[in-house]
Amino acid sequence: MPRSLLILFAIALLPLGGCMQTTLSPSTDASMTARDRQLLAHTPYAQANVPEQYLRHIVDYPRKEQPGTILVDTNARYLYYVLPDGKAIRYGVAVGEEAMAFSGVARVGRLAEWPDWVPTPEIQARLGPYPARVPGGPANPLGARGIYLYVGNKDTLYRIHGTNQPEYIGQAISSGCIRMRNEDVIDLFDRVKLNATVVVLPPGQSAQIESGPSWHG
């Protein structure tokens, strides 16, 4: 092809590159400890075929939240971890049913690996009976990590956590907490800092972030 035609071809491609949302999934394995690999190799639940849009991506992020902030778009079933330079990591999540969902601004008040689960009295009454405390592990509903949401110094009892039911990612199904695939909550856990801001949009309010074409690694 003559050089002049090559230049014209390259120029013609420039607008396409500008409107596409280049995304790349961070490595899953890099964050996992030996214990994580051991426990997740023997899960008591089947691995789910999570829809592609709910896998982890780096996306353009036009909103004004500061890097290090977590934003949950309840309607879209996405959690964003804000990066510098107008980017964010987008994870698919399961959210609470509307009547039980938390919304508002909180902070990360506690971080725990393979946390025990202590069912609340409301969950015991509605879904129990459960043991008073369920030890951490792959069968535990909190999964591999727990990120505890506080308002001021008060525990809201809402969590961002892993799951032993990955087939529900992308749905509104939980008792108010925000569930992630275990490999995703491990990745988020290693990025988020104690006291980071967490913004959970209420049902009906969109983050207005275009999903665009996307690819994951």
Name the residues annotated as catalytic.
Answer: 161, 177
Distances (CA, A) of 28 to 36, 61, 91, 189: 11, 22, 12, 12
Beta-ladder partners of 61: none
Rounded distance between C-alpha atoms, residue 151 and residue 131, angstroms: 28
DSSP result, 86-150:
TEEEEEEEEEE-GGG---EEEEEEEEEES--B---HHHHHHH----S-B-SSTTSTTTTEEEEEE
For residues 66 and 105, give the distance between their C-alpha atoms in angstroms, rounded to a whole number.
14
